[in-house]
Amino acid sequence: MLYSTHRGKTHSGISSASQYERICSIQEYQNGVALGEGIPALPTQPGLIVIGGPTATGKSRQALLLAQRLGSPLLNADSRQVYREFDIGTAKPTLAEQACWPHELIDLADPRETFTVAEFQQAAQVRIAQAHQQGQTPILVGGTGLYIQSITAGLGIPAVPPQPHLRAQLETWPAEIRYAWLQQLDPAAAQHIHPHDAVRTLRALEIIYTTGKTASSLRQAQPPQYPILMLGLHCPMPRLQARIAQRTAQMFQSGWIEEVKQLRERYGPDLPLLNTLGYAEISAYLEGRISEAELQPLIVQHTRQFAKRQMTWFRAMPGIQWLDCEAEDLPDQIEQRVKDWMADLPNTETTADDNRHRLADP
């Protein structure tokens, strides 16, 4: 089974600035009572619903509510939530949220492993096919645009396995040098990779040095045959920054620093994932390179910059229907978009050409 319920361990991750409350209790779920009970089931034709957008817009909460209403599988599309033990700083669904509804495609990889986009694509495609065989329309939710696009556009991801010796050579150089190489060799990839994201920087360089080509040049899209509804959550940057600051503060209250300490003790301070957004800043604080007063503002600043890059990526994807993440009736708006989409689906088998048209004209 691809999802994990984290039974036998605890973490206090959160999914959005408005998601600190328990959505439903574990006991309610065990008794068969979910938050969506009483809402008429929507007619389903197997397809895919995507909820994307920048960080801190409440995607996970809205996807959970919709999954309960539809009885749909809920699939993660966040590139760091696939790693076990990286919980709070990745806003991984909490135990309470996982008790409400199974969250799949999380906790798939050991933090010492490299989980590639191709591996994610394969795992997601298999799970989507299983859901379709059962007449279900799964929901794909997350902020990693490449993960989402690998599914919705059927990107041909380079099948390049990890190259330990090459990585060891690359890791002898400082992270800023490696990122500068990436900017020179694959500026398109560098535009969407944070300078502190050592994992994705190494992966992009690995593809270049192994194949002699950039990842973008190796991708040949084969759009899926099933219909896709693309929904995006956003809000103006000043409001989003406030949400980021609120969520960051909550993450610290939930024990983020302690999580980083435990990860450093278990895997060492040089673990590549510890050099990603938020974890890198906390590591710098623990090593005395920045002060406690600088820590949270720096993470908020870097997260805001990351959110802007996410929006750049999502705006380049056709067919997204954008919704205000702070609208009071947002769950109803989402449900109505889903109903309208399902009502408009043709009864005949969808072709790849139909799907391209649907993605371009929501």
pLDDT number for residue 103: 97
Task: Evaluate whether residue 346 is within a structural domain.
Answer: yes
* Cβ–Cβ < 8 Å for 218, 158: yes
Tell whether 153 and 169 lie within a shared domain.
Answer: no
Considering only residues 184 and 24, tell me which one the structure prediction assigns the higher pLDDT.
184
- Residues placed in the known binding site for ATP: 53-60
> What pLDDT shows up at residue 217?
74
Residue 296 has pLDDT above 80, yes or no: yes
| Residue 152 within a domain | yes
The structure's pTM equals 0.76
Domain membership of residue 138 (yes or no) is: yes
Q: Does 332 lie in the same domain as 196?
A: no
Asked if the structure places residue 310 within a domain, the reply is: no
Q: Are residues 193 and 152 in the same domain?
A: no
Neighbours of 336 (CB within 10 A): 11
Q: Which strands make up the sheet holding 48-52, listed edge to edge?
A: 103-104, 74-76, 139-141, 48-52, 228-234, 320-324
pLDDT at 154 over 60: yes
Under the banding of pLDDT at 50, 70 and 90, the label for residue 93 is very high
CA separation for the pair 236, 188 (Å, rounded): 25
Residue 300 located in a structural domain: no
CATH number for the domain spanning 55: value is 3.40.50.300
| Final residue belonging to a domain, choices 203, 218, 233 | 218
Backbone CA torsion sign across 281, 62, 322, 119: positive
pLDDT, position 141: 98
Please choose, from the candidates 360, 349, 327, 341, the residue with its C-alpha nearest in 3D space to the C-alpha of residue 57. Answer: 327
Q: Do 187 and 153 share a structural domain?
A: no
Quick one: pLDDT at residue 334?
98
pLDDT of residue 26: 34
Q: Are residues 61 and 194 in the same domain?
A: no
Tell me: do 182 and 135 sit in the same domain. no
What domain count does the chain have? 2
The arithmetic mean of pLDDT across residues 29-56, rounded, is 64
pLDDT band at 347 (very low <50, low <70, confident <90, very high): low
DSSP-derived letter for residue 78 is: -
Q: Which residues are annotated as a binding site for substrate?
A: 55-60
**Residues 76 and 131 occupy one common structural domain:** yes
Comparing 5-19, 145-159, 229-243, 247-261, the range with the smallest average pLDDT is: 5-19
> What is the average per-residue pLDDT within 236-242?
97
Residue carrying the six token digits 């040949």 = 220
- Give yes or no for residue 236 having a pLDDT over 70: yes
Q: Is residue 290 part of a domain?
A: no
Residue 301 maps to a domain: no
What's the confidence (pLDDT) of residue 197? Answer: 85
Identify whether the C-beta of residue 37 lies closer than 8 Å to the C-beta of residue 69: no
Distance, CA of 361 to CA of 346 (rounded, Å): 15
Q: Between 360 and 195, where is the model more confident?
A: 195
- Give binding residues as ranges: 53-60
Provide the pLDDT for residue 150: 95
pLDDT digits (tens, 9 = 90+) for 276-287: 999 999 999 999
Residue 298 in any domain: the answer is no
Q: Which long-range contacts (CB under 8 A, 24 or more apart) does 285-288 make?
A: 285/257, 286/257, 286/260, 286/261
CATH number at residue 191: 1.10.20.140
Q: In terms of domains, do 96 and 235 share one? A: yes
Domain that holds residue 170: 164-218
